[in-house]
Amino acid sequence: MPLTDAAAEVVLDEAFRVGPVPRRLFGSFVEHMGRCVYGGIHEPGHGTADEDGFRRDVLELAGELGASVVRYPGGNFVSGYRWEDGVGPRGDRPVRLDRAWKAVETNQVGTDEFLRWVRRLGAEPMLAVNLGTRGMQEACELLEYCNHPGGTAWSDLRIRNGAREPHDVRLWCLGNEMDGPWQMGHKTAAEYGRVAAEAARGMRRLDPRIELVACGSSHSRMPTFGAWEAEVLEHTYDLVDYVSLHAYYQEHDGDAASFLASAVDMDHMIDAVVATADAVGARRRSRKKIKLSFDEWNVWYQSRFGGEDSLEFADTRALIEDDYSALDAVVVGNLLLALLRHSDRVAIACQAQLVNVIAPIRTEPGGPAWRQSIFDPFALTARHARGDVLQAAVTSPMLPTGRYGDVAQLDATATLAPAPDPSLDPAVPDPAGAALSVFLVNRSPDAPLRTSVRLPRGRWVPVGHLGIAAGEPRVNSAADPDAVRVRYQELPAMRDGVVQVELPAASWSLLRFAEPADRER
């Protein structure tokens, strides 16, 4: 029976918990591609540059974004990369051709600089090894360089290069998108499975504390999707912790309804990979569960990019610097809901990428850095999704879409934390009390949605309502950096533990509630 006269409703109960919010869900990605590294995080001549040449203004924005993990150095770039080129005195580093993005790679930023930068950010590094043009030997040597304390050629080289203490990198990707014919050293699932298993065995022997990610499919439309994961995991099941997923979304031919339903596709992809991994586990009579690393996801207008073959070799230049609208921000916000509701299996996720290249942060050479529209939903979710994810029971009108059939117009996820973190959330009245965050998305391109939310039992007080709705297709720029931002809204009306809100068409909202410390239970 409906709780109110609202067209859609959400029921939350603290008994229905998916699991703790994994902090690694709010990861990002820095690839040697376009202006992500050079001219993005790194610009030695810039007014804010530190002693390594990294822009402090970009570092500050990356901190505000809440990036918890940063994957590096690729992406397609890693599959032709010689990591040794990027360590040691900068003057001695070779200049090479990067065949992935047809660029001249100066190697002025490499493993040591990146690791110093990521630690300064307060985030965890996730390094990828080259299993395209290289193999187990080079992967093990990089691991030894990074993590072995000293007394061997590779670890002593790190010490000579200025890093006395081991970098202690725990997260390692075994290659990148090895199923894709565009990848340097592209392999069949059987070939990759064998190489990944060999590399994993060697790397684990060097450092048993590492966590390993096997490559899954490059996207769910790959002809080998499913079969690839099954075969790769047959080879690597006992040796890896995660299998990767990648997905990019865009609006096709003005079909905003399908674009707004992109999270439905992400949900399906996650469910399919979980089922495939569990089927392999069942066949092997294994009690182990493989987790998922969604280590590339975002909105990317791929149809505007002519592809690698359209490029000529060049020095650093702008590549796929998509300008994002409020509509894109709503979709990004919704993709985060899909990741959160699967947090029992998706343990890591990296938005691709961090700066300039399909990124929440943009820079101008010698000029300012600013937030794109997609920055706020990410930063606010990273900040306010705390404690446990609650499974939301949603009753919603259905919407027809060209790509995904009928989808629920309303999407919702919530998180419940026993105590808010006052350093993250100064607006909370009682820092010892509980915090509830409710994330809502109205996927209709043109119709608002009256929605009621039944909160879990307790004495909840509304503390904030933030939202963004698609409207004019405006974008942020150096001249107008705040044109498209999430805005504070009127606090929702509450009665008997039920909140009523009118969600604008094509909108993302975050409702925040707090409860005093002497919780009624």
- Which residues bind to ligand AHR, rule: CB under 6 A? 31, 33, 74-76, 176-177, 218, 296, 352-353
- Select 59 or 358, whichever has its Cβ closest to ligand AHR: 358
- Select 176 or 258, whichever has its Cβ closest to ligand AHR: 176
Q: What is the distance between the alpha carbons of residues 430 and 249, in angstroms, rounded to a whole number?
A: 40
Q: Which of 31, 124, 144, 177 is catalytic?
A: 177
- Select 237 or 300, whichever has its Cβ closest to ligand AHR: 300
User: Are 141 and 96 within 8 A, CB to CB?
Assistant: no
Spatial CB neighbours of 176, under 8 Å, sequence gap ≥ 6: 74, 75, 76, 78, 79, 128, 132, 183, 215
Q: Residue 401 CB, nearest distance to ligand AHR (Å)?
A: 25
Q: Residue 319 CB, nearest distance to ligand AHR (Å)?
A: 9
Q: What is the distance between the alpha carbons of residues 286 and 284, in angstroms, rounded to a whole number?
A: 5
Whether 51 is a known active-site residue: answer no
Of the candidates 430, 398, 402, the residue with the CA atom closest to the CA atom of residue 417: 430
- Tokens 């306010």: give the residue: 384
Which tokens belong to 386?
A: 């705390």
- The counts of H helices and E strands in the chain are 10, 26
Of the CA atoms within 13 Å of residue 73, those in its CB half-sphere come to 31
Which tokens belong to 324?
A: 């994002």
Q: Residue 271 CB, nearest distance to ligand AHR (Å)?
A: 22
Q: Residue 75 CB, nearest distance to ligand AHR (Å)?
A: 3
Q: Residue 74 CB, nearest distance to ligand AHR (Å)?
A: 5
- Select 173 or 330, whichever has its Cβ closest to ligand AHR: 173
The angle subtended at Cα 28 by Cα 27 and Cα 34, nearest 5°, is: 170
- Select 286 or 303, whichever has its Cβ closest to ligand AHR: 303
CB-CB neighbours of 317 under 10 Å: 15
- Select 218 or 276, whichever has its Cβ closest to ligand AHR: 218
Q: What is the distance between the alpha carbons of residues 495 and 152, in angstroms, rounded to a whole number?
A: 67
Three-class DSSP labels, 338-395: HHHHCCCCEEEEEEECCECCCCCEEECCCCCEEECCCHHHHHHHHHHCCCEEECCEEE
Q: Residue 81 CB, nearest distance to ligand AHR (Å)?
A: 12
DSSP helix/strand/coil, 13: coil
Whether 198 is a known active-site residue: answer no
Residues noted as catalytic: 177, 296
